[in-house]
Structure 1
Amino acid sequence: MNKWVTSISFILALSVGSGLYHYFQAPLKAKSLPISAPKASEIVDYHSQVKPVLAQRCVVCHACYDAPCQLKMGSFSGIERGANKARVYDGERLVEANLTRLFEDGHTLAQWRDKDFFPVVSDSPKETSENFSSKEYQSSAKDNLSSSVIAHLLQLKQDNRAETEGTTPSQLNKEKYPLNINRSYQCPTIDDIGTYKQDYPLWGMPYALPAINEKENTLILNWIAQGARGNDDIVLTNAHLKKIEEWERFLNADDLKSQLMSRYLFEHLFLVHLHFSAEQPTQFFKLVRSSTAPGTPVEGIFTRRPFDEPDVERVYYRLVPEKQTLVHKSHMPVLLNEQRMKKWQRWFLNDNYAVTELPSYKPKEASNPFITFAQIPINARYKYMLDEAQNTIMQFIKGPVCRGQMALNVINDHFWVVFSEPELDLVQNNGEFIQQALQNIELPAEEQSNALPTAWMNYAAMEREYLTAKSNFIDTQIKNKLSIDLNLLWDGENNNENLALTIFRHNDAASVVKGLVGETPQTAWVLTYPLFERIHYLLVAGYDVYGNVGHQLNSRMYMDFLRMEGEFNFLSFLPNKTREEVRSKWYRGSVSEVEEFVYKGNTSNIKTDIEYQTKAPYQELLNKIKAKFDDTLSRRHSLENGFNSKEALNSFKRINAMQGTNVSLLPESTIVRVFDKDSNSEHFYTMLRHSAHTNISHLFNEEDRRLPEEDTVTIASGFMTSHPNAFLQIELSELPNFANRINKMGSEPEGSPRI
């Protein structure tokens, strides 16, 4: 290996995690093997001692919907609840699955056992005395350990730690350690654990990673031996309590306008993590529906979707502490401060409009935000979504829908997103048009979670009807008033960095960052209010991760329409001839019936008013947008934020300009640590490979549409992914050689070292 690489650690994407994923094989019952109780000298405390270890070594895998065996280790309640053999992510189930959301769909062990969760620590731990040398303690400790699945799996790793010590998953035998995200897996109960240990002696925890160090392992085993006691109690400060009181008072006013506003806010905030501190927050909160008013204990209303019937006379919106350890792949923070409250007050409450009645919770109406919130001015709704546009889009990315290729191959690997200006008299901002055109449109959520995967023609017909109505409205109402130029784009009021975003897809994961990052994106979107809102109600508010295959497929195909609409909005800024040339490149080869059907209603002859000076209008338009927003664009991921020597910047710029099969050999996502020995400094970069395709029009056979000769790469300052496939360490002086190595990948003689 070349000297410039200190270490290369190719790892499984963090969203998959280690843990209990295994090829499924029905285990035989076997008497569990005993574990000797380690020596203890004090009572082990869950909060101060155990939880930090689990946060460092276990939670990154056992945190989200894809937690192996649904074992969530970011809270005591998750460990106490235990594991379940059923998958949450299942693209083949014919009927919807039972809900198993922690802290929502069960609150007692009996309820979780009824949902087929089995214990991983003793369900009935034997009481242990504080006399650690007594026979009683040794006996009860032995029973507690022997009846704990976690204890057995930890000890199994300790007994067979040599193979993974000092190695990375990329160096392991894939037959011994399967790492595919969709592989079958086993979830051994305590009755199966003996057979499991015999059949899979190398599959202790953490799976395919180095063992927990001896001190921490002993700590966890002692905690289990002592009965695995703990809780999720959170002590809130007086400052927190005061803020909660203030915000709950704002969100629960009695007038109809306030109640409708709060319903709208809840349906856009139910996934996020709210906090009150602009500095480093110490506690996050979630917004929930409750049957009880502020000042009384919260009685949560947890339905399949946030707009489902609450079955109470009055819904209250309450703030509850987030009890689970936060992980980057699902963390979406939103600050609640005085400025935020004033904005919401101005947009939703001060405007001169009336709310005469509260909307229904019936599925047909509730699943359609253009019906439910018709009484709230479009301008208010759109300004709300723009204000934290990255967070709103982040919910599409970090919410339950975006996991795995079935969800993510509906978007390209690298594209920019900008937004239409909310203050202009555009068709998309016209309340009268939206009411007429979109109140009759359907979204997959209307069919609930058990749907037939055959509805796309109906959805496509409605989409084309809407697009035709939009074109007619432009031609008859505003065509002569409209100038197609960059003034149609939202400028962020010259201070909001959410005005322009970059979205990356890296195989079965994705990320969204502020700013226009990378060289030439594969595509670009312009989001309007109705498009932005429909994506939210398709992928966030209306998406059921527990839904059947029909619901999941319909949601995926519907997103085809919305992606195309965003792309066509962008193409409208180009000359008419160029629009078709660019679109033809985006949709080469055999495209799906969906695209062909919708495209016929998505054409417009309205001419752009932008004067182009070059023979490459697409690139020129990208450059014009970047220049127009230059003063407001986020610089967080600018290369100049890291090592800014001429040699370093030139090396990175060379990499960003690369295209071809050499780039296609790079990992999807890589975290690069560059260090300088002379100054004893370091900086982190993210390098993302962008896979090119003839089109992303089909759900299956993605590899058949690959164009590796058109692959590109972006390396930028800071962290831009929650799911790295690789880690690199490079000395600053070796950056030119690093760029050379990437450029020559795939062209060197056989046997030459590769990245």
Structure 2
Amino acid sequence: MPYRFVVASALLLLSSLCMAQGPAPAISYTRDIQPIFTEKCVACHACYDSACQLNLGSGEGAGRGASKIPVYDGERSKAQAPTRLFYDASGKAAWQRQGFYSVLDAQGSQAALMARMLELGHRTPLQPNAKLPSEIVLGLSRENMCPQPGEFDAYAGAHPKEGMPLAVTGLTDQQYQTLQRWLASGAPIDEQGLAPSARESLQVAQWENLLNAPGARESLVARWLYEHWFLAHIYFEGGEPGHFFQWVRSRTPSGQPIDLINTRRPNDDPGTQVYYRLWPVQGVIVHKTHITYPLSAAKMARVKTLFYSGDWQVTALPGYGPARRANPFETFEAIPAKARYQFMLDNAEYFVRTFIRGPVCRGQIATDVIRDNFWALFQAPEHDLYITDPVYRGQATPLLAMPGQNDDVGSVLSLWLAYRDKRNEYEALRRDFYAHAPAPSWSSLWTGNDNALLSIFRHFDSASVTKGLIGEVPQTMWLFDYPLLERTYYQLAVNFDVFGNVSHQAQTRLYFDLIRNGAEQNFLRLMPAGSREDFLDDWYQNSGKFKMWLDYESIDDDKRSALKLDPQDPKKDFVNQLLTRYGELNAKPDPINRCNGAYCSRPNIDPALQDAEQALSRLASRPAAGLKVIEQLPEATLLRVQTASGKREFYSMLRNRAHSNVAFMLGESLRYQPGLDTLTIFPGILSSYPNFIFNVPADQVPAFVEAMQAVRDGASFDRVVERWGIRRSHPQFWQYFHDQTRYLQEVDPLEAGVMDMNRYENL
């Protein structure tokens, strides 16, 4: 029987039952529908990696519908039109002109596409907590079919087990009936946009007044600030819980409705007079795009002190265009470099998150150039020659331009070579100038607040950034100075176009390789001069040596460091001294992965959790060659531990994959060293994309650890999953999955958002 008749019959029966019991209350999208979408759909349908671009985090997204055109396409020869929700169109008709099709509208005698997809999923429930059939392809390797309404019957015939929600415990009967009633009634949407409170409105006006103040100096600072805030989810001191704002450019001033200037990039020519406005973030907050930034009276005073306390002047405002995008150091050179750098340091975690964690939702183009775990440090402004030496700054600035502005496919190689040579000329200049500067010492590191020490973990095509030094002592470390931090931010956040073509994306990836090398070389200046080549040989093994010869400027291995480090293991000694000197800045001490005594757990926590952490430490920071279970684990696993008293803690179990080097765009598997993989275990949620969840009572953690240690192959790992795993088909899957968000709401509510399950594996 065709599915359209099955759906029609089900809706007729449902209607008859409702009539027999009296008229059902009217369904409200805001009250009844969006909560269902938030619980069962948003985990896969949010941001640019929404399946079929169907974003169900808001009524606007549901009404927009779906598209067959993927956002992520690393092979397209031409850039495609942006399809940013709330930005690039508004309303169903406008989106349909961009190629979207409705999933809510009935098609003649056929029910809405969403109704049929939900019916297909509801009639084929999964076997509880069983492994899914192998024919259901999941993860980022899945090629979404995105059937239009007229193609649904063919899709259902070919994929009878792939209704919605896809390959996961589905809707309850009540949720299913509510959605079907809503769709049968025409899917009305009564959603109202988020509005600021009175206190927030006052702060919005104060900040908009600051950024729209008249004067050339004020205009230049406002433009620079906007380009550094455009990705932020702004929250106000004393603001309403769950209220966040975004900076946008508008044709209209404060007090009038925002008339959005929706250029492809935030630093493209607006074509008109610009007003910087704060716009409430609409829709469900999802963790992967939620990069927060605080605004307060203290922050406003800080901005005024940094940017307006001196007597610097602007003789002429810079224009827009590719050259201005390519070199923000020239574009904003009138603004004191010390002010720009210090502003970024004050909230360094935010800026590193914008280009490492990132809101583009899928970032392998960027992430395959970084190690799976490393730490980031920052050079103190008073020791940064770009800040302190105008002669050096004048010579360096023209060399700091970045590629990606010209996306001609035929010019990729020539553009890359030109920018590589310019960057290497800068590195040689930097090396020579720093050779005559005082030797780097502990005072060379910025230690202004707890943003000074950051940990980065890569999870294949996503990554996370956290304050504090987490995990074992990593193979590499990065040291940012101002030119490096600003270039990284502009290359990967401001100038990166997720809708760009293969040329733009390749240039971005290739230049980020040079950025990583520069950050590593900056750090090596802290190491004893005679050890630097040995470190490089370890970081760039095998083919990496060829890349060092081909593309990188040589390192200074003569200029001594003023740090007194153990010559046998200078990096480890550096870390020990770093933790001793700046322990108060280490936001999250880590006794589990760096256990130096008998006690390998955090003090002052529930004794049952202390015992659990003591046991878990036996799995941490060991190579896979001696801990075979690492070979079975995905990138980011969450362990939920609950005590007998009802307390629970989440632990992130992160697989750190080892590589001989990370210097090439292609062939990552050829450089993979699986025997050197390690596992980092840390309390909290360190990924927006959990690959799996284990739920283990606290008193069973020792048994869980023993079982993990005993794993030798897939079959023995399956037994661990059977006992403690929360598979996609688990009857309480959504309870455990959303408990991650509830946990964040309890421990760090500003950072809470719905997690992504596109990468949740079929273990």
Taking structure 1 as the reference length, what is the TM-score of the superposition?
Answer: 0.87
Tell me, yes or no, if structure 1 residue 252 matches structure 2 residue 212.
yes
Give 5+ residue unaligned stretches, structure 1: 1-27, 126-142
Decide whether the 8 Å contact of 1:401 with 1:407 is kept in 2.
no
Tell me, yes or no, if structure 1 residue 640 matches structure 2 residue 596.
no
1:331 and 1:388 map into 2 onto residues whose CA distance is 15
Tell me, yes or no, if structure 1 residue 533 matches structure 2 residue 486.
yes
Decide whether the 8 Å contact of 2:632 with 2:714 is kept in 1.
no
Decide whether the 8 Å contact of 2:385 with 2:392 is kept in 1.
no
Q: What's the offset of the Cα at 1:448?
A: 5.0
Q: How does 1:592-611 map to 2 (within 5 A)?
A: 594-611=547-564
Secondary structure of residue in 2 paired with 1:247 = helix
Decide whether the 8 Å contact of 1:588 with 1:694 is kept in 2.
yes
2:127 and 2:9 map into 1 onto residues whose CA distance is 22
Q: What's the offset of the Cα at 1:302?
A: 0.9
Decide whether the 8 Å contact of 1:658 with 1:713 is kept in 2.
yes
1:750 and 1:292 map into 2 onto residues whose CA distance is 63
Q: Deviations over 1:565-611 (max 9, x none)?
A: 11111111111221111111111111275533343344342101111
Q: Which sits farther off after the overlay, 402-411 or 554-563?
A: 402-411
Q: Which sits farther off after the overlay, 679-688 or 400-409?
A: 400-409
Match of 1:418 in 2: 377
2:4 and 2:178 map into 1 onto residues whose CA distance is 27
Q: What's the offset of the Cα at 1:220?
A: 1.3
1:241 and 1:606 map into 2 onto residues whose CA distance is 55
The amino acid across from 1:167 in the alignment is N
Secondary structure of residue in 1 paired with 2:617 = helix
Distance 1:524 1:257, change over 3 A: same
Decide whether the 8 Å contact of 2:439 with 2:562 is kept in 1.
yes
Match of 2:691 in 1: 725
Q: Which sits farther off after the overlay, 103-112 or 296-305?
A: 103-112
Match of 1:362 in 2: 321
Match of 2:39 in 1: 56
Q: What's the offset of the Cα at 1:32?
A: 10
Secondary structure of residue in 1 paired with 2:43 = coil
Tell me, yes or no, if structure 1 residue 83 matches structure 2 residue 66.
yes
Determine what percentage of the aligned residue pairs are the same residue: 33
The amino acid across from 2:168 in the alignment is L
Secondary structure of residue in 1 paired with 2:548 = helix
Q: 1:318 aligns with which of 272, 277, 287?
A: 277
The amino acid across from 2:263 in the alignment is T
Match of 1:340 in 2: 299
Give 5+ residue unaligned stretches, structure 2: 19-23, 592-600, 722-763
Q: How does 1:683-702 map to 2 (within 5 A)?
A: 683-702=649-668
Secondary structure of residue in 2 paired with 1:357 = coil
1:212 and 1:165 map into 2 onto residues whose CA distance is 14
1:158 and 1:305 map into 2 onto residues whose CA distance is 42
Tell me, yes or no, if structure 1 residue 669 matches structure 2 residue 610.
no
Q: Deviations over 1:31-72 (max 9, x none)?
A: 996364334501111111111111111112111111111111
Secondary structure of residue in 1 paired with 2:464 = strand
Tell me, yes or no, if structure 1 residue 569 matches structure 2 residue 525.
no
Q: What's the offset of the Cα at 1:426?
A: 3.1
Match of 2:566 in 1: 613
Tell me, yes or no, if structure 1 residue 159 matches structure 2 residue 117.
no
Q: What's the offset of the Cα at 1:29?
A: 13
The amino acid across from 1:166 in the alignment is P
Decide whether the 8 Å contact of 2:200 with 2:239 is kept in 1.
no
Q: 1:380 aligns with which of 333, 339, 352?
A: 339
Secondary structure of residue in 1 paired with 2:412 = coil
The amino acid across from 2:528 in the alignment is P
Secondary structure of residue in 1 paired with 2:507 = helix
Match of 1:70 in 2: 53
Decide whether the 8 Å contact of 1:144 with 1:224 is kept in 2.
no
1:389 and 1:676 map into 2 onto residues whose CA distance is 36
Superposition misfits of 4+ residues, deviation over 6 angstroms: 28-33, 747-752
Q: 1:209 aligns with which of 165, 168, 171?
A: 168
Match of 1:488 in 2: 444
2:100 and 2:713 map into 1 onto residues whose CA distance is 52
Tell me, yes or no, if structure 1 residue 590 matches structure 2 residue 527.
no
Q: How does 1:239-278 map to 2 (within 5 A)?
A: 239-277=199-237
Q: How does 1:123-138 map to 2 (within 5 A)?
A: none
1:745 and 1:327 map into 2 onto residues whose CA distance is 35
Decide whether the 8 Å contact of 2:655 with 2:677 is kept in 1.
yes
Match of 2:8 in 1: 34
Secondary structure of residue in 2 paired with 1:181 = helix
Secondary structure of residue in 2 paired with 1:497 = coil
Q: Deviations over 1:224-273 (max 9, x none)?
A: 22221123433432222222111111111001121111111111111111
Q: How does 1:160-559 map to 2 (within 5 A)?
A: 160-161=124-125, 164-167=126-129, 171-175=131-135, 177-230=136-189, 231-277=191-237, 281-312=241-272, 314-400=273-359, 403-424=362-383, 426-427=385-386, 429-448=388-407, 452-454=411-413, 455-475=415-435, 478-479=436-437, 482-492=438-448, 496-559=449-512
Secondary structure of residue in 2 paired with 1:229 = coil
2:309 and 2:397 map into 1 onto residues whose CA distance is 26
2:279 and 2:647 map into 1 onto residues whose CA distance is 41
1:422 and 1:441 map into 2 onto residues whose CA distance is 18
Decide whether the 8 Å contact of 2:288 with 2:359 is kept in 1.
no
1:748 and 1:234 map into 2 onto residues whose CA distance is 48
Distance 1:644 1:589, change over 3 A: farther
Tell me, yes or no, if structure 1 residue 656 matches structure 2 residue 656.
no
Distance 1:709 1:252, change over 3 A: same
Decide whether the 8 Å contact of 1:408 with 1:508 is kept in 2.
yes
Give the count of matched residue pairs: 695
Decide whether the 8 Å contact of 2:632 with 2:717 is kept in 1.
no
Secondary structure of residue in 1 paired with 2:55 = coil
Secondary structure of residue in 2 paired with 1:445 = coil
The amino acid across from 1:77 in the alignment is E
The amino acid across from 2:509 in the alignment is R
Q: 1:680 aligns with which of 626, 633, 646?
A: 646
Q: What's the offset of the Cα at 1:450?
A: 6.1
Q: What's the offset of the Cα at 1:615?
A: 1.3
1:668 and 1:324 map into 2 onto residues whose CA distance is 29
Distance 1:644 1:30, change over 3 A: closer
Q: What's the offset of the Cα at 1:667?
A: 2.4
The amino acid across from 2:260 in the alignment is G
2:416 and 2:547 map into 1 onto residues whose CA distance is 8
Match of 2:93 in 1: 110
Q: Deviations over 1:91-114 (max 9, x none)?
A: 110111111111111124332122
1:284 and 1:303 map into 2 onto residues whose CA distance is 22
Q: What's the offset of the Cα at 1:174?
A: 2.2
1:378 and 1:618 map into 2 onto residues whose CA distance is 31
The amino acid across from 1:117 in the alignment is F
